[in-house]
Structure 1
Amino acid sequence: MKNWPLLIETNYLAESLHDPKLLILDTSSAANYAEHHIPGAVHIAPAELQSGVKPAVGKLPSIEALNALFTKVGLTPDKHVIAYDDEGGGWAGRLIWTLDVIGHHNYSYLDGGLHAWLHAGHPTEKVANHPAPTKQDITIDSLPIAEIEDFISLLDNSQLAIWDARSPEEYRGEKVLAQRGGHIPGAVNLDWLELIDRDNQMRLKDLTELQTRLNELGITADKTVITHCQTHHRSGLSYLLMKILGYPHIKGYHGSWGEWGNSETTPIEIGDQAQSSANTP
């Protein structure tokens, strides 16, 4: 089996599409999967990657639910997972974060996902794939997971960066999707949509330019970076981007604003983006 990088292009996958060690996981909408998917791809409904329990619906599913999910899709330790979606990487990134959480680190992200695959004219199929179930005994690695109690006392620590991947309107508190609006004190806002090149089949923008932007915001690789959105779906892409850029200390706050903004005790800031140390005169 060839050496698979984390970020792959469509031609790279097309050349090895029938490798028996691949497990292609499609986190597109059910409608798109039914209409056209990569041959051999197994569908994971995005909702299966979240607990769905209010108010923090984006939290990790239970161990039982994770065991059932990865039993159904046929995951085994020797499988190399190809993750893709139909939206530019949010759900695929959430899947990759989930794989990190369960200790499966053999994976790649298909840049541009379904959009790029279709644009390249590669083959698709409509028939759903149902692999043989595999026995799972999942344990949780807490390292990629951020919980409130882990970092609420560290908000003024210069070695911690919090990347809020929501829209600027949500960040400033103008658009409120929880009991309270605003943002975590000290968090830096970079909308996940700013990472996607919508004029280039939903691929990631130039990685060098994205790294420069992150550095300007103080989201640098020497820090522990926690990323979140409303449900840790959009921040699946910010987590994935940092993986691709080689950030060594990253976490996904799966409670996200659904938890923070619905708590009565968490501190909140309203208004414009806080200045990072990199931008402070």
Structure 2
Amino acid sequence: PGQLPGKPQLEALFGALGHRDDAVYVVYDDEGGGWAGRFIWLLDVIGHSHYHYLNGGLHAWLAEQRPLSQDSPVAAGGPVPLQLDEAPSATREYLESRLGASDLVIWDARSPEEYRGEKALAARAGHIPGAVNFEWTAAMDPARAMRIREDIAERLEALGITADKEIVTHCQTHHRSGFTYLLAKALGYPRVKGYPGSWGEWGNLPDTPIQQ
């Protein structure tokens, strides 16, 4: 994870998946939504809106004793031409230019220890000024096989993460924040961006503003 793959890599990936303009994706993973959310972000980047998230992923599927397959699909074909949309992504420069805006909320999906600067996974520790911390796993309900919490909209509203704001979400590598990106989209929030550079970029630059 991390920065957005280049256009040739994305064209090869979606070609191998057999991507078509009329394809409908059902996206899931085995961890509660991080990888699934990052893939949904990629679908938004290529401008493909025909997708669904399997709430709870494999955990929920197995909890309902649904069948599994051992078949491995083969690569469907060569690269497919894609047009990439910049709207689902925030660059470091964009985020810096928007710091302090009243209609912006930065959703930090990392652990509280990373957010407070007590745990460093980069050259510098802390968080982006003004960012709100709500760890990605806090949005999952273990009692419901890792499905999205039923009260999640209320919990986010209490933190100021609301539909009237532009939401930019990040973690360390835009893996954990893949789920928070997906979550904001699932709630119908109209302006959602993932910051693929995340703290792996922000915290390793010498001059980006940081709070602890």
Structure 2 Cα separation of the partners of residues 263 and 122 of structure 1: 47
TM-score with structure 1 length normalisation?
A: 0.74
Structure 2 Cα separation of the partners of residues 266 and 144 of structure 1: 22
Q: Which residue of 1 aligns with 2:172?
A: 230
Structure 2 Cα separation of the partners of residues 81 and 160 of structure 1: 30
SS in 1 for 2:156: helix
Structure 2 Cα separation of the partners of residues 212 and 204 of structure 1: 13
SS in 2 for 1:153: helix
Pick 1 or 2: higher relative contact order, CA cutoff 8 A, min separation 6: 2
| Residues 105 and 165 in structure 2, CA contact (< 8 A), matched pair in contact too | yes
Structure 1 Cα separation of the partners of residues 204 and 192 of structure 2: 24
Q: Which residue of 2 aligns with 1:191?
A: 135
Q: Which residue of 2 aligns with 1:47?
A: none
| Residues 12 and 79 in structure 2, CA contact (< 8 A), matched pair in contact too | no
Q: Which residue of 1 aligns with 2:14?
A: 70
Structure 2 Cα separation of the partners of residues 117 and 150 of structure 1: 39
Q: Deviations over 1:216-261 (max 9, x none)?
A: 1111110111000000010111111111111000100000000000
AA at the equivalent of 1:220:
T
Q: Which residue of 2 aligns with 1:203?
A: 147
Q: Which residue of 2 aligns with 1:103?
A: 47
Following superposition, the deviation at residue 167 of structure 1 comes to 0.3
Q: Which residue of 2 aligns with 1:243?
A: 185
SS in 2 for 1:104: coil
Structure 2 Cα separation of the partners of residues 186 and 65 of structure 1: 34
| Residues 75 and 134 in structure 1, CA contact (< 8 A), matched pair in contact too | no
Following superposition, the deviation at residue 131 of structure 1 comes to 5.0
* Structure 1 position 179 matched with structure 2 position 128: no
| Residues 101 and 140 in structure 1, CA contact (< 8 A), matched pair in contact too | yes
* Fraction of identical pairs, as percent: 56
Q: Deviations over 1:76-113 (max 9, x none)?
A: 11110000000011110000000000111100000111
State the aligned residue count: 212
Equivalent position to 1:148, from 92, 103, 117: 92
| Residues 228 and 254 in structure 1, CA contact (< 8 A), matched pair in contact too | yes
Q: Which residue of 2 aligns with 1:161?
A: 105
Q: Which residue of 1 aligns with 2:154?
A: 212
Structure 1 range deviating more: 220-229 or 151-160? 151-160
Give unpaired runs (5+ residues) of structure 1. Answer: 1-49, 51-57, 271-281
SS in 2 for 1:88: coil
Q: Which residue of 2 aligns with 1:278?
A: none
Following superposition, the deviation at residue 125 of structure 1 comes to 1.2
| Residues 97 and 236 in structure 1, CA contact (< 8 A), matched pair in contact too | yes
The structure 1 segments of at least 4 consecutive aligned residues displaced by more than 2 Å after TM superposition are: none
Following superposition, the deviation at residue 123 of structure 1 comes to 1.3
What is the root-mean-square deviation in Å for CA atoms of aligned residues? 1.0
Structure 1 Cα separation of the partners of residues 19 and 172 of structure 2: 28
SS in 1 for 2:70: coil
Equivalent position to 2:210, from 255, 261, 268: 268
Give unpaired runs (5+ residues) of structure 2. Answer: none
Query: Which structure: larger Rg?
Result: 1
Following superposition, the deviation at residue 127 of structure 1 comes to 2.0
| Residues 85 and 91 in structure 1, CA contact (< 8 A), matched pair in contact too | yes
Q: Which residue of 2 aligns with 1:132?
A: 76
Q: Map 1:7-156 to 2 at 5 A.
A: 50=1, 58-130=2-74, 132-133=76-77, 135-156=79-100
Following superposition, the deviation at residue 140 of structure 1 comes to 1.2
